[in-house]
Structure 1
Amino acid sequence: MDHREHSREAALALAEGFGGRAQYIAGRLRSGSSGRTHPVVDPATGETVCGYELAGAADVDAAVTAAAQALPDWAGATPGERSDALHGFAAALSARAADLALAESLQCGKPIKLSTEFDVPGTVDNTVFFAGASRQLEGKAAAEYSGDHTSYVRREPVGVVGSIAPWNYPLQMAAWKVLPAIAAGNTIVLKPAELTPLTSLMFAQAATDAGIPDGVVNVVTGTGPDAGEHLVGHPGVAMTSFTGSTAVGRRVAELATRGVKRLHLELGGKAPFVVFDDADLEAAAHGAVAGALINTGQDCTAATRAYVQRPLYDAFVAAVADLFATVRLGDPFDPATDLGPLISHAQRDRVAGFVKRARDYATVVTGGAAPDGKGAYYRPTLITGAPQDSEIVQAEIFGPVLVVLPFDGDDEGLRLANDTPYGLAASAWTRDVFRAHRATREIKAGCVWVNDHIPIISEMPHGGAKSSGFGKDMSAYSFEEYTQVKHVMFDNTAVARKDWHRTIFGDR
């Protein structure tokens, strides 16, 4: 048995260890109550690795009840106590790092090197960061702003948070949802995507093993129309956090608004990759390939639209095509694999449909086809000649597809970069500091990289603008989402009749 077979067998054993249970409520695994089952499918083989019963409304109710019961004690814990618990959580995740990587690659088809070197260590680092950040909730300094009163600001937990995470980064998205919420003293019910529940469940189990009280972190795995909508609309949920498509985000916003709930949305993206004519061509080409193909392009910040100033355009297209040809598709458990399958055959067919339609108005330079075999693979695809208003340029594809378009002046390049409904991420490639600063000012996105594309760090916020949503994940800024700011004001005069009362009754 080679290493790949051993890794897949170990991952299958982890999946089977859940015993068909994909709900984690009040510190215990349990079966769903919907009466309907759902498979977890290995997208590299198309084979079912396990099945489980989906959550129904009763499971959501039980999870919200558990979170509500755990809230007073957890919210009342000192920041230091929550910090200690989160440090233990980070240690528990580190001890399970190899298993988390195996499970993530099994359910998502991620290359094991991506799971091992990006998803898992990033999650552990997020946990360590929030262990420290939980002790640093900040507010305005206490002072006598009116002259007669002392005012100060409290940051208090919002309450029970209902979060919905996507299938592209199940482990990291569980962390991004759970960690700032519980660090600030909230409790949470997380609904992972029904395609990819395994690492979210392992994440919740690690929280319990680390001593985080039962009910602080709960997981319900069900479909959006059933478990998801019930969670968003639940009267016991004070806040909704959702990461996913803009279309579904609109539905989540509609439901949350009915209950006047706090809302955090991280939605789709169509990131521009702007290459000015003084850029380092080799660096830009390598950055485009990495930025476009990370996670098989299933990343809302992935480089999808490269705008290249005309003097570099032909050389850039040629360089990217050459690099695409070197990318190795293969078994996710092979350490040499660069590009794994898409999450499902349905997603592969969706990507293929975009490319097929684009052939009517654009040129497929390389790729544009699925390789032989039973996995949900699709070759890295480079497209040129597409009009700016075409579907392939404007719509989120969520696959290994990069469209390259030329531009002439800087004004045009920046205008084109902003010419979609999305505003999650972007990058600018130039050696000119003035061009770089202009690009970072004028591109409307939540993150603009300069001479790189994709890196994220726990200390800095992630979130979008325009149709990419609002609110921030990671960083201390995320506490803006998960805390309620309260003004407290003390009278310092001990005078019964205040001077301002005369505006209501009586005279001075």
Structure 2
Amino acid sequence: MSEPGKLRNYINGAYTDAADGRTTEVIDPATGEVYATAPLSAAADVDKAMAAAAVAFESWRDTTPSVRQLALLRIADAVEARARELVDVECRDTGKPRGLTAAEEIPPMVDHIRFFAGAARLLEGKSAGEYLQGTTSFVRREPVGVCAQVAPWNYPMMTAVWKFAPAIAAGNSVVLKPSDTTPASTLLLAEIVGEVLRGLGLPTGVLNVICGDRETGSLMVEHPTPAMAAITGSVRAGIQVARSAAKDVKRVHLELGGKAPVVVFEDADIAAAVEGITAAGLFNAGQDCTAATRVLVQHELHDEFLAALTKAVAATRTGHPDDPDVQYGPLNNANQLAQVAGFVQRLPAHATIETGGHQVGDKGYFYSPTVVSGLKQDDEIIQNEVFGPVITVQRFTDEEQAVAFANDAQYALASSVWTRDHARAMRMSRRLDFGCVWINTHIPLVAEMPHGGFKKSGYGKDLSAYGFEDYTRIKHVMTATAG
């Protein structure tokens, strides 16, 4: 096991240090203080993890769907049983409130693992048939091979599940790298998976976790062993992964940034909209690619809505993860704090800070819940992802302008519409150019429905049968039957 204050890579069912002994510091964002070190993995460590995954794949791909289902169900049970431990390490790495993390992340994680356990036995394809006289054809769905996966720091353990669960359910093996600022919960998940696999007599190299920085991630993607690279991260990181993967034509799965428009029409239930948008805009300190932070309000409702939203946001509390009354914790790291503060500091003269707009306290990376109004469509804070507890509010005149403003962004991951008019909601769901459109709600996700975007938000889906199928390849088999 990892020692207190010293995290280690998890390769082939065992903890191990980086080959050259190099480490990075892991900082508690609630205090700004170093609490542990983690390996800074280099080429030798990547080689070791890829070799373990490749060996495991040789037998794992030949397991039956029922065996993979059983393994995943046991993993889900083990995650549930060790929930308190997972929450402890997650909150230490991220600063998230403990109560919210236990209630809002553990149950979906367990549910998602169980969903993919079931999906392992429900691969669909075209039925066998005679499409050419004297022959019979059928389609095989097969695992793609070893998968190199990179996860972000905003939802470390949740995203780790989204990455490894569909991949191993489909018969692949995985080398996963968590963010260098949040490695602890992913390592614990790997330990849980390894213990379950070992107990079932299955290969422990099915899931390997190595720690490191961007260079480590690049080495994973460029390595000749993986057949597929999957990343959740920034647009810049996604472009780098796609460019590196193109060198040997690896498959690529990208879930990148977002700038979700939240379109509030004049007939919306204002109380419900304010409550839902406040929660969805500030959850996890706004560090969510689907966060409800770009609000567009019809002119007739704008002033009343802005006043109500400002009041609700101002009443939202940020603080230490042990405080049961806070709605969100600190930003994840010093660089992210500087980024969020920079957006607010660079606001144009025509913008108004209705509430917030400043760092909270002199310890840790806390930022106040913030509302900014008076913005124009081409303002930096409207066009670029802030990834913090900052909600912007703009006016629009009619449905045409709402659609134009909403779609005028480089990102296309998620959006929402708030209206009592069903026909309008249906029109907007068709016209909004985003991978998800919520109606009179914002941010809920379920295992059965896909999560993924268009444009610079990437391609490929997490969750759902579509996300599962992304980790398979299709093979046509034809046999002669004449004679």
Does residue 1:424 correspond to 2:413, yes or no? yes
Task: Report the equivalent of 1:400.
Answer: 389
Task: Report the equivalent of 1:263.
Answer: 252
Structure 2 distance, partners of 1:360, 1:63, is: 52
Match of 1:480 among 469, 472, 475: 469
Does residue 1:309 correspond to 2:295, yes or no? no
Q: Bigger CA drift: 119-128 or 33-42?
A: 33-42
Q: Which amino acid aligns with 2:292?
A: A
Does residue 1:335 correspond to 2:338, yes or no? no
Q: Which amino acid aligns with 1:261?
A: K
Match of 1:63 among 49, 54, 59: 49
Task: Report the equivalent of 1:219.
Answer: 209
Cα pair distance change 1:429/1:398, threshold 3 Å:
same
Q: Which amino acid aligns with 1:429?
A: W
Structure 1 distance, partners of 2:39, 2:477, is: 48
Contact 1:275 1:309 in 2 (8 A): yes
Q: Which amino acid aligns with 2:341?
A: A
Q: Bigger CA drift: 210-219 or 287-296?
A: 210-219
Deviation for aligned residue 1:359: 4.8
Q: Which amino acid aligns with 1:381?
A: T
Structure 1 distance, partners of 2:351, 2:459, is: 33
Structure 2 distance, partners of 1:360, 1:342, is: 26
Residues 413-446 of structure 1 show CA distances to partners (whole Å, capped at 9, x for unaligned) of: 0111000010000000111111111111111111
Deviation for aligned residue 1:358: 0.7
Task: Report the equivalent of 1:110.
Answer: 96
Does residue 1:191 correspond to 2:177, yes or no? yes
Deviation for aligned residue 1:42: 0.9
Cα pair distance change 1:233/1:272, threshold 3 Å:
same
Structure 2 distance, partners of 1:373, 1:188, is: 41
Deviation for aligned residue 1:22: 2.5
Any idea what SS the aligned residue of 1:235 has?
coil
Task: Report the equivalent of 2:267.
Answer: 278
Structure 2 distance, partners of 1:468, 1:22, is: 32
Match of 1:177 among 157, 160, 163: 163
Q: CA RMSD in A?
A: 1.2
Alignment of 1:134-153 (within 5 A): 134-153=120-139
Deviation for aligned residue 1:20: 1.7
Task: Report the equivalent of 1:460.
Answer: 449
Contact 1:33 1:54 in 2 (8 A): no
Contact 1:34 1:53 in 2 (8 A): no
Match of 1:157 among 139, 143, 148: 143
Task: Report the equivalent of 2:7.
Answer: 21
Residues 341-379 of structure 1 show CA distances to partners (whole Å, capped at 9, x for unaligned) of: 000122111100100101534111110011223010000
Does residue 1:45 correspond to 2:35, yes or no? no
Instruction: Provide TM-score, normalisation by structure 2.
Output: 0.97
Residues 32-59 of structure 1 show CA distances to partners (whole Å, capped at 9, x for unaligned) of: 1344321111111111111123111111
Task: Report the equivalent of 1:5.
Answer: none
Higher Cα Rg, which structure: 1
Contact 1:33 1:53 in 2 (8 A): no
Contact 2:119 2:468 in 1 (8 A): no
Structure 2 distance, partners of 1:37, 1:332, is: 26
Residues 67-108 of structure 1 show CA distances to partners (whole Å, capped at 9, x for unaligned) of: 000001100000001101111111110111111111111100
Structure 2 distance, partners of 1:52, 1:153, is: 44
Residues 320-354 of structure 1 show CA distances to partners (whole Å, capped at 9, x for unaligned) of: 11101211222112222212100012211110010
Does residue 1:289 correspond to 2:275, yes or no? no
Q: Bigger CA drift: 257-266 or 320-329?
A: 320-329
Contact 1:192 1:220 in 2 (8 A): yes
Task: Report the equivalent of 1:246.
Answer: 235
Structure 1 distance, partners of 2:89, 2:306, is: 36
Contact 2:13 2:195 in 1 (8 A): no
Q: Which amino acid aligns with 2:313?
A: F
Deviation for aligned residue 1:19: 5.7
Contact 1:160 1:236 in 2 (8 A): yes
Structure 2 distance, partners of 1:18, 1:66, is: 26
Contact 1:151 1:490 in 2 (8 A): yes
Deviation for aligned residue 1:18: 5.3
Cα pair distance change 1:176/1:281, threshold 3 Å:
same
Any idea what SS the aligned residue of 2:101 has?
helix
Structure 2 distance, partners of 1:21, 1:305, is: 38
Structure 1 distance, partners of 2:33, 2:470, is: 39
Identity of aligned residues (%): 49
Q: Bigger CA drift: 157-166 or 26-35?
A: 26-35
Deviation for aligned residue 1:148: 2.7
Does residue 1:96 correspond to 2:82, yes or no? yes
Deviation for aligned residue 1:493: 1.2
Q: Which amino acid aligns with 1:136?
A: L
Task: Report the equivalent of 1:369.
Answer: 358
Q: Which amino acid aligns with 1:213?
A: P
Q: Which amino acid aligns with 1:23?
A: N
Contact 2:9 2:209 in 1 (8 A): yes
Residues 134-159 of structure 1 show CA distances to partners (whole Å, capped at 9, x for unaligned) of: 11111111111224321111100000
Task: Report the equivalent of 1:500.
Answer: none
Task: Report the equivalent of 2:337.
Answer: 348
Residues 247-272 of structure 1 show CA distances to partners (whole Å, capped at 9, x for unaligned) of: 11111110001110010000000000
Match of 1:209 among 173, 176, 195: 195
Runs of 5+ in structure 2 lacking a partner?
Answer: none
Any idea what SS the aligned residue of 2:105 has?
helix
Structure 1 distance, partners of 2:278, 2:187, is: 33
Contact 2:13 2:191 in 1 (8 A): yes
Any idea what SS the aligned residue of 2:204 has?
coil
Task: Report the equivalent of 1:325.
Answer: 314
